[in-house]
Structure 1
Amino acid sequence: MRYTVDERHERIVELVREYGSLRVADLAEHLGISTVTARRDVEALASEGRLDRVRGAVHWPGTPAPQGRTRHPLPEPRPVERAPEPRDVVIGMVVPQSRHYFGEIIRGAREAVTAAGGRLVLGYSNYQPDHDAAQVRRMLEAGVHGLLLTPSWPSGTGGSGDEGDIPVPAVLLERRGEVGSRAAALDRVCTDHAGGAGLAVRHLVDLGHERIALVAGDSPTTVQMRAGYEDALRVFGVTAPAVEPIVLEPGDRAPDSIDAAARRLTELVAEGEVTAAIVLSDTDAILLLQSLRGLGERIRVPEDLALVAYDDDVAALSDLPLTAVAPPKFEVGETAATLLLRRVRERAAGAAGGARQHLDLLPELRVRASCGESAVETREGI
C-alpha cells in the first residue's frame, strides 16, 4: 500500500505509540519504503517533538530510552482508502434517456467530469423503476466512485426505494426525495420548474393576460409547473385558473392530442375564456401552432392567443419565434457532477464533508414574438 507523506508520518506515530520503541529498519520494511526515507521521516517527526530519535531506532517521548535493539514483529500494513487520481475517477449516471431534455444535462455532467480528468459512464432506465435498480447495481459492480441519479418517479418526488442505501456518494438530478425518506438526505440539483412557470405567468400578466391556460403532458416537470402556475396566478390576484390544464398524450396518440388541444383552445378563445397559453414542450408548442393554423383563421397567434413554450430547445426556430422558458439544463448537469466529484474526494480522504445541498437552479425567460412582443429576442431572469 502506498502512503502519502502525511499518512506515512501518522502511521509511524501510531506504531511507536503502540510499541514504545521500534527500529528504523523495521519501520522501513513495514511501510515498504527505503531505510533512508524512513530515517528522514523519523528525523522530521523528532524535530516536531512528536517522537524521540536514538541511534537506529525511535521511541515514544517521555518513556525511557530502549536498552539494546529490541525487534518487534509488526503487523501487515492496513489497507488505506486513498482518493483516486483524477484520471481514475469514474462517475456513473443513470437517466431515463439521452434525447431531448436530458441531452444537455448529460453534456454538462460529461464536461465537468472530463475537465476533472475523470470518465462518465451512462445507463438508461427508459422511465422503468426496475431498470433504475438494475443500472445502479451494474455500475456499482463496475466500480464507479459516485452516481448521478434521475429515478423514474412519476411525480418527480419519491424515495421509498434503496436510493439512500447506495454505498458510494450519490447526487439526485431533477428529482427530489420525499421529506423524511432516505433519498431526502442525498444531495440534489434540480431546475426550479415551479419558478419557471411563475416566470411565464408573470410575463403574460404584465402583457395584460389573466385567463391563461396550461397545456402539457403527464410528466414530473408538469407536476412542478402546475404548482408554480397556480401559485403565480394567485400572487397576481387570479384565484383560480381559467380552465383545467389541457393534457397532451404521449407516443402514438400525440398528433391526435395536439389537434384536440388546438380545437379546445379555439373554443376557449372564441368564448373569451382564454387569451394565453403556456405549453410544455416547445416542440409541442410548434405543433400546436401548426394545428391552430390548420383550423383556418379562427385563431391568430399572437393577436388572439399568446403562446409561451417551456423548454426552449427549438422554440426560436419556429417561423413565428416562440417566447420560451429555458431550464438551465447544461448547468444542472455540470453543477451536479461538480458536487459529486467533491463528495467522492471527501469520502476517499475520510472527511465528513459539509451539509448536504438541495440546489434549485432558476430558468430564464427568452422573449421573442409569440406573445405580441418585438421579434428581437430579450431575456428575463426570475
Structure 2
Amino acid sequence: MRAHVDQRQAQVRALVRARGSVRVTDLALELGISPVTLRRDIEAMAARGEIHRMHGVISRVERPHPPTGATRGGPAGAPERPATQGGEGLVVGMVVPTTEYYYADVVRGARAAVEARGARLTVGLTRYLPGEDRTQADRLLSTGANGLLLTPNWDTGSPGPGEGAWTAELPVPTVLVERWAPPGHPAAALDRVGSDHAHGAARAVRHLVDSGHRRIALACQETPTTARLRAGYEAAVDALGLEPAPPWPQLAGDPPSVADRFARALDYLCEAVTTGGVTAALIHSDTDAIMLIPRLQARGVRVPEDLAVITYDDEVAGLADVPLTAVAPAKREVGARAAELLLDRLASGAAKAGAGPGARAGAGATEEPPRQHLELLPRLTIRP
C-alpha cells in the first residue's frame, strides 16, 4: 500500500516539476484517481515542502539559486534553470477592471504562474472608471512593480484615436491582457495575450449549422468583446453561405440603461424568431441568456424548440435550469501565459544587463526576443 502511495506522489512531483503548475482537478483526471485521494497526497507533499498548494492549483517549489561560484545541485532528476529564468524577488503588477466574473480566472491563472516562478503578484482594480487604468498602473509602479500585466479601459477592446499611447511609454516591460491595438498604434508594439473571440463566435455558428440551423442571430451587449464576436460571427455566416439574420438594432442618443439594453435584446430575439426566420442564436453573456430564456418562453418562443441557444463566456451556463451549450474563452490560460511572457521578458532584460556594456551580438550578448501577440482559442462545451 505504501509503495502505491510513494509511486503516485512521485508521479505528481514529476508532473509539477515539468509543468511548473497544474490544476488539481486536471491532475486527478490525468492520473485516473479520485480528487479526494489526490488531495490527501497533496496535503502530505505540501507539509513536507515538496510542492506549493493554492486555490485548486499546485506548483513546484523554486529552490533559491546558490551564490556565484557555488556548486548547483538538488534532488536527482530535478531540472536546473539559470537564475535569469526565475522570478525570485520580482513583483508583477496587474491592472484589471475587476476580480469577479470573467477576470477572476484570468487573475487566478496569472497568480499561479507568477508564484510558480517565485515572484509576487499585486493587483490594481479600475471598475472601468475613466482614467483609472493609468492611475492604477502608476500606483503599482510606485510601490515597486518590475513589470505590468495591463487590461486598459478600452470600450471596444482596442484604443480609439489618440487613446492609450501611454501604455507604450511605461518604464517597465508591459503585456496587454485581453486587449489589442491596431497596426500603427504605439501599443501595437507591446506583447499581448488574449482570447480569439472571433474564432469562438465562428465555432458556435459552425456547431449550430452542423445541427441543421441556417439562420442564426447574434445578440450581445456592447462590451470590449463585442467587436471581435461580431467579426467572427459575420465571417462565419459569410463563409458558410447562411441566410442573414435581421440586423441588430442600433440606438441613437445617450447610452441606454441596463434595463433598456435587456429589453432591446428580448424584443430583437422575439421578432427574429417570429418574423425573421431565425432558429438559433449566440447570446453574450451567460447571465443575459439565463435571464432572457424564461422571458422568451413567456412570450411564446420555446427554447430550444423554436430557438436553440449557445452562450458566450461559460461562467454560469452550466447552472441554468437546462444547462446551456457555451463557448468558453481560456481565461485562466490567458492569465498564465501573459504572466509567463512578462517574466520571460524580465529575465531577458536581466540577462542582457548582465552581459555588460561591452557585449555585442555574436560575442555572448543576449538579444531581446521578438515581441509576441498570442491568441488562445476558446473551447466549445456541448451540453444536452
TM over 0.5, shorter chain:
yes
SS in 2 for 1:324: strand
Task: Give the drift of 1:189.
Answer: 0.4
Q: Check if 1:357 corresponds to 2:372.
A: yes
- Give the whole-Å Cα distance in 1 for the aligned partners of 2:101 and 2:271: 31
Shift of 1:171: 0.6
Distance 2:250 2:102 in 1: 19
Q: Distance in 1 between matches of 2:272 and 2:131?
A: 42
Shift in Å, 1:257: 3.5
Is residue 241 from structure 1 mapped to residue 256 from structure 2 by the alignment?
no
Matching residue's letter, 2:142: E
After TM superposition, the structure 1 stretch with the greater mean CA deviation from structure 2, 136-145 or 106-115, is 136-145
Residue among 335, 338, 350 paired with 1:348: 350
What is the total number of aligned residue pairs between the two structures? 289
Question: What's 1:116 paired with?
Answer: 117
- The 5-angstrom pairing of residues 186-225 of structure 1 reads 186-225=190-229
2:16 aligned residue: none
1:292 lines up with 2:296 in the alignment: yes
| Contact in 1 for aligned 2:106/2:332 (Cα 8 Å) | yes
In structure 2, C-alpha distance between the alignment counterparts of 1:263 and 1:206, rounded to whole Å:
27
Cross-structure match for 1:313: 315
Counterpart residue number, 2:234: 230
Provide structure 2 residue ranges, at least 5 long, that are not aligned to the other structure: 1-65, 71-82, 353-365
TM-score (norm 2): 0.70
Question: Which has the greater radius of gyration?
Answer: 1
Residue 281 of structure 1 is matched in structure 2 by 285
What does residue 98 of structure 1 align with?
99
**How far is the alpha carbon of 1:105 from its aligned partner?**
0.2
Q: Secondary structure at the match of 2:348?
A: helix
The Cα of 1:342 is off from its aligned counterpart by: 0.7
The CA distance in 2 between the partners of 1:205 and 1:84, in whole Å, is: 46
2:86 and 2:347 in contact (8 A); partners too: no
Q: Is the 8 A contact 1:276 1:307 kept in 2?
A: yes
Instruction: Determine the C-alpha separation between the residues in 1 that align with 2:164 and 2:271.
Output: 43
CA deviation profile, 1:338-370 (whole Å, cap 9, x unmatched)? 1111111111121333111100000011111xx
Aligned to 2:23: none
Q: Residue 84 of structure 1 contacts residue 348 of structure 1 at CA under 8 Å; is this kept in 2? A: no
Which residue of the other structure, out of 323, 328, 331, is the alignment partner of 2:330? 328
TM-score normalized by structure 1? 0.71
**Partner amino acid for 2:100?**
R
| Secondary structure of 1:245 counterpart | coil
Cα–Cα, structure 1 residues 117 and 247, in superposed 2: closer, same or farther, change >3 Å? farther
Structure 1 gaps of 5+ residues are 7-36, 38-81, 369-374, 376-382
Residue of structure 1 equivalent to 2:57: none
SS at match of 1:269: helix
2: distance between equivalents of 1:127 and 1:93? 15
TM superposition shift of 1:264: 3.0
Q: Is the 8 A contact 2:221 2:284 kept in 1?
A: yes
**What's the secondary structure of 1:98's corresponding residue?**
coil
> Residues 279, 247 of structure 1: CA spacing in aligned structure 2 closer, same or farther, 3 A cutoff?
farther
Partner of 2:36: none
Encode CA deviations 1:216-251: one digit per residue, 9 max, x unaligned: 11111011000000001000013x731123689xx9
With over 3 angstroms needed to count, the CA separation of the structure-2 counterparts of 1:349 and 1:4, relative to structure 1, is: farther
Amino acid at match of 1:299: V
The alignment partner of 2:241 has SS state of coil
Superposed CA RMSD: 2.5
Residues 18-37 of structure 1: CA deviation (Å, up to 9, x unaligned): xxxxxxxxxxxxxxxxxxx9
Q: Once the 2 structures are TM-superposed, how far is the Cα of residue 4 of structure 1 from its aligned partner?
A: 6.7
Q: Which residue of 2 aligns with 1:262?
A: 266
Partners of 1:121 and 1:173 in 2: how far apart? 15
**Inter-partner Cα distance in structure 2 for 1:201 and 1:100:** 24
205-214 or 334-343, larger mean C-alpha shift: 205-214
Equivalent-residue separation in structure 2 for 1:85 and 1:318 (angstroms): 43
Instruction: Give distance in 2, aligned partners of 1:101 and 1:300.
Output: 29
Cα offset, 1:258, TM superposition: 2.8
Cα drift, residue 160 of structure 1: 4.3
- Write out aligned runs for 1:116-195 (5 A): 116-158=117-159, 160-195=164-199
Residue 100 of structure 1: how far off its partner (Å): 1.0
User: What is the CA-CA distance between 1:202 and the residue it aligns to?
Assistant: 0.4
Give the match's secondary structure for 1:308: strand
User: Contact 1:218/1:247 (CA < 8 Å) preserved in 2?
Assistant: no
1:65-104 CA-to-partner distances (Å, cap 9, x unmatched) read xxxxxxxxxxxxxxxxx96973311000011111111111
Q: Distance in 2 between the 1:145 and 1:312 partners?
A: 33
